[in-house]
Amino acid sequence: MSLPTVLVLALLTAFPLGFTIFYSFTNFNMLKPKAIKYIKFDNYLKILADPYFQQALGNTLKFMVLAVVIETLFGLLVALLINSLGSGQKVLRTLILLPVILPPVTVALIWRIMLSNNYGIFNQILTSLGAAQVNWLNDVNTAFYCILAIDVWQYMPFAFLLIYASLQSVPVSQYEAAQIDGANAIQVFLFVTLPNILSGIVLVVLLRSIDSIRLFDKVNILTRGGPANTTATITQYIYNYGVGNYKIGFSSAGSIVMTLMVLVISLPYIKQAFKRN
């Protein structure tokens, strides 16, 4: 009964992964398909020694940490606020979740218009206030944080949704017991709410960490890794130096490096999941 599913997974996952690993040890170039040659670990050594890759790696890790922390904290605060309301929760939940259902490409295009130097709404507001306009996406001081803010705007609702679902499963009897014992709001949160929703928070951190490492759409549309590589990410690096130049062997090695990073980040959670089972 499970054979069809296994075959589909093998076709869509294992087969491409095997070819990616194979090509990562070659100099395969789509412009010279017949000149393919086994070059051992040369692609990996070039990537790790490349200053551009090192900068892209630093940007990716910085983005991941900031995005995960901010999105998780805001998601937690919003979930606690919505959960405390007596009425109107359904309407607010729907409004809050609107950004996360939009495609990343659509979000990037909308924000590119809003951040435009000539007709963007943010510069129009600054002009109306008598302040100087800001070149949001082409300034080394603002480009990275603009993309970070856009990502937080879109995916904070995702963190909210998972944490809010965890809040719904907290037993009411525990709150009643804490109230009888005379616990204040902070004590209730620390000793009742937080332990019950901790697994949901950990899941948010894991999923958003993995997704942040794979950030590509917004960077490629808004800045293409610039200015001065301040918004370059691993995926943008793979695209620019591998896919963009048809160097499939080189880009495959970059993809494997990124995959290993994802495995390292998710390994602690996977171990905990197996222990619970």
pLDDT confidence band for 45 (50 / 70 / 90): very high
pLDDT of residue 260 exceeding 60, the answer is yes
Cβ–Cβ < 8 Å for 200, 208: no
pLDDT of residue 271 exceeding 90, the answer is no
Cβ–Cβ < 8 Å for 126, 132: yes
pLDDT of residue 1 exceeding 80, the answer is yes
Q: What is the DSSP string of 234-249?
A: HHHHHIIIIITTT-HH
pLDDT of residue 267 exceeding 90, the answer is no
Cβ–Cβ < 8 Å for 134, 125: no
Considering the chain, what percentage of its residues have pLDDT values greater than 70? 98
**What is the C-alpha separation between 273 and 221, in angstroms, rounded?**
37
* HEC readout, 10-25: HHHHHHHHHHHHHHHC
Question: Does domain 38-276 fall into CATH 3.65.10.10?
Answer: no
Give per-residue pLDDT as tens, 77-124. 999 999 888 777 888 888 999 999 999 999 999 999 999 988 889 999
On whether the pTM is more than 0.85, the answer is yes
Please tell me the predicted confidence (pLDDT) of residue 44: 93
Q: What residues pair up with 68 in beta bridges, in sequence order?
A: none
Q: What ranges do the domains of the chain cover?
A: 38-276
Least confident range of 67-71, 173-177, 214-218, 264-268:
264-268
pLDDT of residue 32 exceeding 80, the answer is yes
Q: Which amino acid is at 96?
A: I
Long-range contacts of 191-198 (CB under 8 A, 24+ apart): 193/80, 193/167, 196/166, 196/167, 196/169, 196/170, 196/171, 197/163, 197/166, 197/167, 197/170
